[in-house]
Amino acid sequence: MLEKIRPRAEDRKRLKEAAGAILARIEGLSRERGHNFKALLVGSAARSTWLAGDHDLDIFIAVPDGSDLKDALALARLVAPVHQEKYAEHAYIHAIVDGFDVDLVPCYQVENASCLRSAVDRTPFHTQYISSRIAGLEDHVLLLKQFMKGVGVYGSELRTGGFSGYLSEILVLRYGSFLGVLEAASGWRPGETIDLEGRGAQAHNEPLVVVDPVDPYRNVAAALTLDKMFEFVAASRCYLARPELEMFFSMGEKPLTDQEIIGRMRERGSHMLLVEFKAPDVVEDVLFPQLRKAEESAHAMLDRHGFRALRSDVYRASGLAGMLFELEVAELPTVSKRVGPPAWEGEHLSRFLSAHIQKLSGPYMEGGHAVVEVRRKYTMARDLLDKEITSLALGKHIAVQIKAGYRIYYDIEILEVKDPEFRTFLAGYFKARQKLC
Amino acid sequence: MLEKIRPRAEDRKRLKEAAGAILARIEGLSRERGHNFKALLVGSAARSTWLAGDHDLDIFIAVPDGSDLKDALALARLVAPVHQEKYAEHAYIHAIVDGFDVDLVPCYQVENASCLRSAVDRTPFHTQYISSRIAGLEDHVLLLKQFMKGVGVYGSELRTGGFSGYLSEILVLRYGSFLGVLEAASGWRPGETIDLEGRGAQAHNEPLVVVDPVDPYRNVAAALTLDKMFEFVAASRCYLARPELEMFFSMGEKPLTDQEIIGRMRERGSHMLLVEFKAPDVVEDVLFPQLRKAEESAHAMLDRHGFRALRSDVYRASGLAGMLFELEVAELPTVSKRVGPPAWEGEHLSRFLSAHIQKLSGPYMEGGHAVVEVRRKYTMARDLLDKEITSLALGKHIAVQIKAGYRIYYDIEILEVKDPEFRTFLAGYFKARQKLC
């Protein structure tokens, strides 16, 4: 396993040279222009904990107090003349240099990690903390990261909500080895707390609390969701019970054919409702939280109207984005029960009754409440979604796109969506299989 | 109104004569046979609070300490040679005498109502209590009883769960008039307590608590259900807002024709599921609680399997009895979600996963629980009911009848049930209209 994931000596050499050249170039330019910027290699490349095949270089340009981040950005542009400008809390530069994906990130030089001026200022302290302690444990970090990738819990972006590289390194420091982490994780419960330096300074209510050794107020695992945490826990149990190499590799899905989709739908007998629209041009960390929010609003609305969803999911595929709802019930009877106030609240009752003169049955008393049976506004889930989607609480960018246009596919109509990325998503949706024990 | 419901002078005279003759006959026979039994006219006939058209005579044969109720029963058989024997807590005799429905009920002579030997021993005390106080208020009692009949809340049998005659009399004593009762009732809340003699000796948690003036441990309104109580409350408000004579008369329903049934079903769009079986040969006070119990069990089972019932009801018609369920959803997809234990309970999780090797999707993590999607055992409500009805908690007599045979009618098949009593029940079911304000 390690042979597969440990970078070869020549790769290490290439990375070291490429990074060295960029760092030298930055500091040279800084001197030329009279700045006192420091160039820092951070991230897994700096800690010797990157996986073979990764070609990421995170290089920070730290400006002293009184200097402007804009000057560091201008300098970065010169270092990599062909680049993209990206934006997190501040602007940074992404470029391909000598086959490496290089991020050039301006930050402030600060005394220690508790007097940050920007979120990225903490990163150099992380690198320093890990680099000075990880020696001899690098292989364990590589195994843990690859295992987390294999079981689908690696990556702290908002789309995944999983474990960050830094978090996996802290776990190895805490438990001493790859297997040590898995054994400990097997017994985790929600609220598990890890505090390497014993200086946790604040209560957190996330499912896993890992006090940042360089910032006692921060939970390193703040972005980890309950489900990703316990997918890791349950996968750890699987591996310990029966260590299999295939756990390190995620099961890739292939796009489903028309026949396969028809087969799955027939087997399940449920109803598929898909809303598709143009994906807004934003990064995943912006897009996915908004998609999830839209999904939740629509899911709740369907539920409120009696259309129970078995499951739902969101995707982005080839410039489009969408939400998929799998319904237990897609059609409901006309008659619908409306439960009024308790009968001892005379004024409320009387208002309720006057508001429901038009009725199919009732009023009658049930459990001390007056009840009427009226005509349901939407008997088809499809119509409900179509008519009410724009009135939902959608994220800002999603709302714009949906106002501009969307399309609904119902049941077998989803065969009209031919895009292989969508059909791969659909394959994963139907299988929904995780490595749990 | 009063002219309609107040017995005419000649009716009073006939009743007085008929009752007097029976009482004399009992006491004569008692003397002849060396007993010391007392004959007592009880109930509304004794209190001058019976409604015109009622022809009920309740006559008690009270035996002194040391005597046997069986001797009183033997004597009753002689008084009415053509009779039916009935059974409540003890046996009694029902007969038609001179056009009156006469109940001859053996009871014990007791000192006061708190040292009863049988539940019926209390009745003579009730009659004594009301008779000595009701003079001048009889018409108010008549109006209240007729109003309660008109709005469907009169009768304390278990089928109705409404107001007894004795309860209506106490209400008139408490509030002084028919309208006084309605005005007070308009403001009732659950837990309303009435204690004429101020000697309530026990806490009750029924919705209406009326301390029995002759037995401070007993709640006269114990059989009144929350719904019947508030049907009366809401009807009282209607009458006070707009006094209409028609409130005194219940809206009779006519049997529905095939076309009418089809019309109602089309209008509602719901699914009807009817189970019919031979009615056990027991009195309503035994039958209806058992029918309600069976209805609840079946309703809960349908719900548990995802078949939501909008409403359900039970009936007895022409020797048959049945339960009607109106379903929002009568058919569900094959796929069904099974939620396992929390993922941090390792042993439970592992048992859950081994028990669900056969699955359509999963396992996956949701809200910290492992979830699998499996094949549903019953996708049709009809099949579920048909296969599982005998395993339900049914009342004793219902269970016997259902084991002997039952028939299920689904949707339009209910047209096959031609019995006019059933179709009248169905008319009331669809309308489900009560007089509420």
Nearest CA distance, A270 vs chain B (angstrom): 5
Nearest CA distance, B75 vs chain A (angstrom): 46
| Residue of chain A whose Cα is closest to the Cα of B427 | A361
Q: Do A364 and B434 touch (CB under 8 A)?
A: yes
Please give the sequence-ordered ranges of beta strands (E in DSSP) within A99-228, or none if there are none.
100-108, 192-194, 208-212, 215-219
pLDDT for B162 equals 96
Q: Do A366 and B328 touch (CB under 8 A)?
A: no
Nearest CA distance, A298 vs chain B (angstrom): 18
Q: A344: which chain B residues are within 8 Å (Cβ-Cβ)?
A: 188-190, 230, 233
Q: Do B432 and A361 touch (CB under 8 A)?
A: yes
Nearest CA distance, A268 vs chain B (angstrom): 5
Beta-carbon contacts of B11 under 8 Å, excluding residues fewer than 6 positions away, are B52
Dihedral angle, C-alpha A335, A339, A344, A348, nearest 10 °: -90
Tell me the pLDDT tens digit for each residue of B209-259.
999 999 999 999 999 999 999 999 999 999 999 999 999 998 789 999 999
| Residue of chain A whose Cα is closest to the Cα of B189 | A344
pLDDT for B86 equals 85
* SS3 state at A55: coil
Between A356 and A250, the more confident residue is A356
CB-CB: which of B231, B333, B346 is closest to A328? B333
Q: A186: which chain B residues are within 8 Å (Cβ-Cβ)?
A: 346
d(CA B216, CA B199): 6
Residue A110 has pLDDT above 90, yes or no: no
Q: Do A437 and B344 touch (CB under 8 A)?
A: no
| Residue of chain A whose Cα is closest to the Cα of B365 | A227
Residue A251 has pLDDT above 80, yes or no: no
**How confident is residue A112, by pLDDT bands cut at 50, 70 and 90?**
confident
pLDDT for B116 equals 80
Alpha helical stretches, state H, A242-326: 258-268, 284-304
Q: Exposure string (b/e) for A243-256, b if CB count within 10 Å is 16 or more?
A: eeeebbeeeeeebb
**How confident is residue A119, by pLDDT bands cut at 50, 70 and 90?**
confident
Nearest CA distance, A386 vs chain B (angstrom): 22
User: Do A151 and A231 touch, CB atoms closer than 8 A?
Assistant: yes
Q: B430: which chain A residues are within 8 Å (Cβ-Cβ)?
A: 361
CB-CB: which of B334, B346, B364 is closest to A268? B334
Least confidently predicted of A242-246, A256-260, B254-258, B375-379: A242-246
* SS3 state at B335: strand
Between A352 and A97, the more confident residue is A352
How many CA atoms lie less than 13 Å away from A106 in the CB half-sphere? 27
Best A206, A351, A365 member to test B by mutation, with max B CBs in 10 Å, is: A365
Token readout for A282 is 């934003």
DSSP secondary structure string, B205-252?
Answer: -SSEEEEETTEEEEETTTT--HHHHHHHHHHHHHHHHS--GGGGS---
Q: Do B231 and A365 touch (CB under 8 A)?
A: yes
Q: Do A349 and B436 touch (CB under 8 A)?
A: yes
Tell me the pLDDT tens digit for each residue of B102-140.
999 999 988 877 778 888 889 999 999 999 999 999 999
pLDDT for B366 equals 96
Best A344, A349, A374, A430 member to test B by mutation, with max B CBs in 10 Å, is: A344
Residue B150 has pLDDT above 90, yes or no: yes
Q: Do A230 and B363 touch (CB under 8 A)?
A: no
**How confident is residue B201, by pLDDT bands cut at 50, 70 and 90?**
confident
- Omega cis (within 30) before B363: yes
CB-CB: which of B333, B350, B365 is closest to A230? B365
Between B200 and B276, the more confident residue is B276
Amino acid at B355: A
pLDDT for A65 equals 84
User: Do A220 and A210 touch, CB atoms closer than 8 A?
Assistant: yes
pLDDT for A434 equals 93
d(CA B146, CA A377): 40
Q: Do A432 and B231 touch (CB under 8 A)?
A: no
Residue B185 has pLDDT above 90, yes or no: yes
Q: A329: which chain B residues are within 8 Å (Cβ-Cβ)?
A: 328-329, 332
Q: A334: which chain B residues are within 8 Å (Cβ-Cβ)?
A: 267-270
User: Do A343 and A369 touch, CB atoms closer than 8 A?
Assistant: yes
Best A230, A312, A345, A347 member to test B by mutation, with max B CBs in 10 Å, is: A230
Tell me the pLDDT tens digit for each residue of A318-329.
999 999 999 999
d(CA A167, CA A220): 6
Q: B207: which chain A residues are within 8 Å (Cβ-Cβ)?
A: 368
Rg (CA), chain A: 27
pLDDT for B110 equals 87
**How confident is residue B287, by pLDDT bands cut at 50, 70 and 90?**
very high
**How confident is residue B54, by pLDDT bands cut at 50, 70 and 90?**
confident
Q: Do B349 and A434 touch (CB under 8 A)?
A: no
d(CA A277, CA A401): 7
Helix (H) or strand (E) segment spanning residue B173:
helix B165-175
Share of chain A above pLDDT 70, in %: 100
Q: Do A370 and B436 touch (CB under 8 A)?
A: yes
d(CA A221, CA B389): 51
Residue A83 has pLDDT above 80, yes or no: yes
Share of chain B above pLDDT 90, in %: 81
Dihedral angle, C-alpha A391, A397, A400, A405, nearest 10 °: -90
Q: What angle do CA B113, B117, B123 make, to 5 degrees?
A: 45
pLDDT for B120 equals 85
User: Do A313 and A298 touch, CB atoms closer than 8 A?
Assistant: no
* Ordered strands of the B100-108 beta sheet: B38-42, B56-63, B100-108, B91-97, B84-87
User: Do A385 and A408 touch, CB atoms closer than 8 A?
Assistant: yes
Closest to A302 (Cα-Cα) out of A274, A327, A282: A327
Nearest CA distance, B107 vs chain A (angstrom): 37
Residue B357 has pLDDT above 80, yes or no: yes
Beta-carbon contacts of B200 under 8 Å, excluding residues fewer than 6 positions away, are B193, B209, B211, B216
Amino acid at A26: I
**How confident is residue A191, by pLDDT bands cut at 50, 70 and 90?**
very high
Best A328, A345, A436, A437 member to test B by mutation, with max B CBs in 10 Å, is: A436
pLDDT for A113 equals 72
Q: A228: which chain B residues are within 8 Å (Cβ-Cβ)?
A: 365
Nearest CA distance, B179 vs chain A (angstrom): 18
Closest to B248 (Cα-Cα) out of B60, B1, B15: B1
Q: What string of H, E and C letters represents the secondary structure of B107-160?
A: EECCCCCCCCCCHHHHHHHHHHHHHCCCCCCHHHHHHHHHHHHHCCCECCCCCC
Closest to B167 (Cα-Cα) out of B145, B139, B136: B145
pLDDT for A197 equals 92
Tell me the pLDDT tens digit for each residue of A56-68.
999 999 999 888 8
pLDDT for A365 equals 97
Residue B397 phi/psi, 5° resolution?
-70, -35
CB-CB: which of A187, A228, A346 is closest to B186? A346
Closest to A124 (Cα-Cα) out of A48, A46, A218: A46
Beta-carbon contacts of A330 under 8 Å, excluding residues fewer than 6 positions away, are A271, A273, A307, A380, A381, A382, A410, A411
Nearest CA distance, B338 vs chain A (angstrom): 11
* Ordered strands of the A84-87 beta sheet: A38-42, A56-63, A100-108, A91-97, A84-87
Closest to A318 (Cα-Cα) out of A205, A170, A182, A422: A422
d(CA A313, CA A324): 5
Nearest CA distance, A30 vs chain B (angstrom): 50
* SS3 state at B315: strand
Token readout for A143 is 């195994």
Amino acid at A65: D
| Residue appearing with tokens 């939740």 | A296
Best B365, B373, B411, B433 member to test A by mutation, with max A CBs in 10 Å, is: B365
- pTM listed for this prediction: 0.85
Amino acid at A210: V
**How confident is residue A295, by pLDDT bands cut at 50, 70 and 90?**
very high
Nearest CA distance, A139 vs chain B (angstrom): 28
Q: A356: which chain B residues are within 8 Å (Cβ-Cβ)?
A: none
Q: Do A227 and B337 touch (CB under 8 A)?
A: no
Q: Do A361 and B433 touch (CB under 8 A)?
A: yes
Tell me the pLDDT tens digit for each residue of B12-42.
999 999 999 999 999 999 999 999 999 999 9
Least confidently predicted of A47-61, A178-192, A223-237: A47-61
**How confident is residue B390, by pLDDT bands cut at 50, 70 and 90?**
very high
Q: What angle do CA B358, B364, B365 make, to 5 degrees?
A: 140
pLDDT (average), residues A243-252:
89
Mean pLDDT, chain A, whole residue set: 94
